[in-house]
Chain A
Amino acid sequence: MFYREAGQFKTSYKADQALLPILQDRIGLAVILLTAFVLIPVFANDFFLTSIMIPFLVFALAAIGLNVLTGFCGQLSLGTGAFMGVGAYAAYKLTSIFPDANVILMVLLSGVFSAAIGAVFGLPSLRIKGLYLAVTTLAAQFFLEWCFIRIPWLYNYNASGAIEIPRREVFGVIVSGAEATPIARYFVVLSITAGIAYLMANVLRGRIGRSWMMIRDMDIAAELMGIRPLQTKLMAFAVSSFICGVAGAMMVFFWLNAAEPSSYSIRLSFQILFMVILGGLGSLAGSFLGAAFIWILPVILKFVPGLMGIDMAAETVEHATFMIVGALIIFFLIVEPHGFARLWQIGKQKLRVWPFPY
């Protein structure tokens, strides 16, 4: 009833193949964009922007990156954290070599470096599949992490081994460094994430995306139909690493301000992987939902006891949050192994036939 597309006629191929052919979807997206670009900046406080929205968008972008590789092309990867790190260190080196260049451009450019490195580590994917490929990407994770610690050139010979982000202005607005306002950083992160998500939405339903999905569903059949596996898989690795690299660079430039190699450890890889699995493999919306679940929920849950007037020690809250989130992960995986994206689809279906379920 609420979601019925009956009566919405398409009179051209263009309209039929639009990104969102159904009116309700377009309204929904407009509402989300309005909230993100207008309502949140107007009403949210600094904490909400810096500790919830910015990390959420960064993680959502990283989840999109991994989803391209794992969800759409079917190549399991455990190297996401390291590829994000490559982006971060590349962007850091670029801004220290070209201090006057536009920092947003540098962040986007850093993705090229992680794409190149991702493609190199994607080479074994032609011969190795499944869990074995996961092990080779794990090797990438450890090797790159080792580089971040052991190659002092990467962090400009800083005694503490951390990269610290200097102040940079874009069109007269400070966007990185400690003086950057949360609003400015939020808008940069939001624009980059929304832009890349829009781009990927179109790539994924076009020729390139379809060839990835063919490889995922049955690589031999895909090969017989004229898809070249090496190029396709490498392209998936490169695109995925590019997005992850941009996310990693944004993570340190617009969120953390400083990062140690441990910020890009295997923990981060698993965190992103869980976002993708929980959100839904092979779904862009799922990447956002998964990131929201893994990042936002624990942060918010921490505030609940205090607001309800219950006096709980900080570490007890931490433990409780851990347990609740853990239990919820199990719950959702039992109820819907295909993730939140699938739950949302089921929900749409229910709305369509409401109030006469069958």
Chain B
Amino acid sequence: MRNFKQLALGTAVAAGVGLSGILTSAVQAQDANYVPLLTYRTGPYAGSGIPIANGMHDYLAMLNARDGGIGGVKIEIEECETGYNAQKGVECYEATKGKGAVVYNPYSTGITLQLIPKAGVDKVPVLSMGYGLSAAAVGNTFPWIFNVPDTYWDGASVVIKYIGEQEGGLENLKGKKIGYIFLDAGYGREPIPLLEQLAEKYGFELLKYPVPGAEMQNQSSQWLNVRRDRPDYMVMWGWGAMNPTAVKEAVKIRFPMDKFIGVWWSAGDDDAAAGGEGAKGYKALNFSGVGSDFPALDDIKKHVIDAGQSSTDAESVGSTLYNRGVLNSVIIAEGIRTAQELTGKKVITGEDMRMGLEALNLDEARLKELGLSGFAHPMKVTCEDHAGSHPVFVQEWDGKKWRQASDWIEPMTDIVRPLLEAAAAEYAEKNAPWPARTEPCPN
């Protein structure tokens, strides 16, 4: 009991200290570019969140250790734990934006949706790399949001295109049944409008299997329905504990794994490994390099992991989600560098960062210079197109690791782009009065 009392007293003192800190914390004079990372290493989505958080942190830490930051200015990295919870995400945002944040990476579609209206008001861009609101690709409506290299709609169109290739042409999709199993949240519902459009166009039947977030570790009823409906292909938009569960269940009902395709967020090593030997052949989209055979990743090992400045274990370097985190930080770093070049300033603001991201041009030569040749498809952002609809590839699980199973596949831009424009216009109308773009175009 006495220990309890001490604990209570200690907490009271601690709370007092914390409160005084919050009330007095002013904006410090800074000589670094402050990059808050909204990560989640706790909760049901930690399985996916940890490798990404490690990847994001390690690349920036490596730049600090190897080059002394970017353009001679250190990057101040601070992680804030969101637990994939939108309320906590907003709390992290409010807690860090006053310190001069240059960019936000929410790593949650739910948090991204909350930040989209705030970004323009607080003048801090949001980089939702391959997630978030698809319509945000329309830069003239959403000047502060960047979802390079691809939107979910691009991804969904690639999946259908790939299935078409397997069937010997998109016209052969007629009469086929394609199942769509998804996390029943903003994230999983995002691609449905496009999939429905494509189903109408190519004449396949779209079967939807929503998995509620609270029950993502118990998908037996959904897979029972899959067994009954016998779809020709299964497409998955899963995250966190949903992925390994779905792979396991698919193995259990003996669904042909080579006809089961996940989005790039269902491409984790642990996700596929959960299915054991039976998961061989499981496919997933990807846009960040497979494996750890890149000079930049060697630098991370040398400067960060071996120096004990990271919570990453050496084996997980090169896993899909770790590499995804690295790619995210590459885009941040290149955005900062571009912004420094454009403005001539060393320490940049959110507004400078927005210009830097909008002028981002990560071509093959630059990737090679970074030691990441072949790590990602060259990508370019324009003022009109903040996603760029870059090609993605399909990777296949061989029972132990991922290997690339297709070439880079271009999304169906001709179908996706008009839909994105329409969705952006609709968003602006629903949220009227949505501010018109006044930010100049740096290109």
Contacts and interface: CB of A to CB of B under 8 A. Distances in A.
Interface of A: 43-48, 50-52, 55, 149, 156, 158-162, 164, 166-167, 177-179, 256-260, 262-263, 265-266, 297, 299-304, 306-308, 313-315, 317-319, 324, 327-328, 330-332, 334-335
Given A303-B22, A304-B14, 19 more contacts: A45-B22, A45-B25, A45-B98, A46-B94, A50-B90, A52-B22, A160-B133, A178-B120, A256-B90, A257-B90, A262-B86, A265-B214, A300-B19, A302-B18, A304-B21, A307-B17, A315-B81, A328-B7, A331-B4
A283 to B, nearest CB: 20
A164 B116 CA distance: 10
B87 A256 contact: yes
Nearest to A266: B214
A258 B86 CA distance: 9
B114 interface: yes
Interface string B185-199: 110011011000000
B441 interface: no
Contact of A313 (B14, B22, B311): B311
Nearest to B135: A159
B186 A260 contact: yes
A164 B22 contact: no
Interface stretch (B226-234, B283-291, B379-387, B428-436): B428-436
Interface of B: 1, 4-5, 7-8, 11, 14-15, 17-19, 21-23, 25, 39, 41-42, 78-81, 83, 86-87, 90-91, 94-95, 98, 109-110, 113-114, 117-118, 120-121, 133, 184-186, 189-190, 192-193, 210, 212-214, 311, 423, 430-433
- Chain A to chain B: the 4 pairs with minimum beta-carbon distance, closest first: A178-B117, A315-B41, A160-B186, A300-B18
Nearest to B213: A262
B169 to A, nearest CB: 29
30 contacts: A47-B22, A48-B22, A48-B23, A51-B90, A159-B189, A159-B190, A159-B193, A160-B133, A164-B431, A167-B431, A178-B120, A256-B86, A257-B90, A257-B114, A258-B86, A263-B87, A266-B214, A300-B18, A303-B22, A304-B21, A307-B21, A313-B79, A315-B39, A317-B81, A318-B41, A318-B42, A327-B7, A328-B8, A331-B5, A334-B4
Nearest to A268: B87
A328 B11 contact: yes
Contact of A301 (B15, B83, B432, B433): B15
A295 to B, nearest CB: 10
A48 B214 CA distance: 31
A131 to B, nearest CB: 22
B17 A308 contact: yes
Contacts of A262: 86, 110, 185, 213-214
Contacts of A263: 86-87
B42 A300 contact: no
A156 B430 contact: yes
A158 to B, nearest CB: 7
Nearest to A262: B213
Contacts of A164: 113, 117, 430-431
B94 A50 contact: yes
Contacts of B186: 160-162, 260
A314 B120 contact: no
Point out which of A46, A47, A167, A334 has the most chain B C-beta atoms below 10 A from its C-beta.
Answer: A47
B189 A161 contact: yes
